[in-house]
Amino acid sequence: MIAIAAAAMFYSDRLVLASLKALLNERGAKISQSEIEKHSGVSLRTVKRALDRLERLGTIRRTWEPGIGYTYIMET
């Protein structure tokens, strides 16, 4: 599944995924989309779209926590 998912990703998806991995290693699961935007160098809109695609591909899982925001888990 991971090889198929990687083939279906846009370049921006790969940038967002690499940034998400790096930030998860540094800070844990609570990362804002604007932090991913700054780290990846792509626009906030592109980050949101990439996260949606990565979630549909099963590469990441995110949950909404009121007062906190999204938390992210890498699916391997």
Residue pointed to by tokens 């992210």: 72
71 in Cβ contact with 65 (< 8 Å): yes
**Amino acid found at 13:** D
- Per-residue pLDDT of 9-25, as tens digits, reads 899 999 999 999 999 99
Read off the pLDDT band of 1 (50, 70, 90).
Answer: very low
Place of tokens 């800070």: 27
CB atoms closer than 10 angstroms to residue 14:
14
pTM for the structure as a whole: 0.83
* Amino acid in position 7: A
Domains and CATH numbers, the chain: 2-74 (1.10.10.10)
* pLDDT per residue as tens digits for the range 23-53: 999 888 788 899 999 999 999 999 999 999 9
